Amino acid sequence: MTPEQEEAAGFAIYKQFIRHSFGNLMPKGNDVSGKPIPETPEEACVRRWRRLPEKTREQFIAEGRAAIRAYEATQ
């Protein structure tokens, strides 16, 4: 399992964790009439993932690593 796969698994768990949380979508620009265009929920999730403290991110990655190992053990 590569570090990229481990981080992807941790990010997937993080996305499920915050799926129903309250948050705001930041504007990513304006349309032609000047109205703000909000970021997508996926973009907001990536933004929040990058701003997490390293320790918290590592905890999610460890959970993802454990989930992958548990799945592989059943195969």
Q: Is residue 15 situated within a structural domain?
A: no
Expressed as residue numbers, the domain containing 51 is 40-75
Q: Is residue 28 situated within a structural domain?
A: no
Q: Is residue 74 situated within a structural domain?
A: yes
Q: Is residue 44 situated within a structural domain?
A: yes
Confidence of residue 20 (pLDDT cuts 50, 70, 90): low
67 vs 72: CA distance, rounded Å: 9
pLDDT tens-digit map of 22-50? 667 888 899 999 999 999 888 988 999 99
Q: How many domains does the chain have?
A: 1
Q: Is residue 70 situated within a structural domain?
A: yes
* pLDDT number for residue 65: 94
14 vs 45: CA distance, rounded Å: 8
What's this model's pTM, rounded to 2 decimal places? 0.77
Q: Is residue 46 situated within a structural domain?
A: yes
**Residue 56: helix, strand or coil by DSSP?**
helix
Q: Which of residues 60 and 40 earns the better pLDDT score?
A: 60
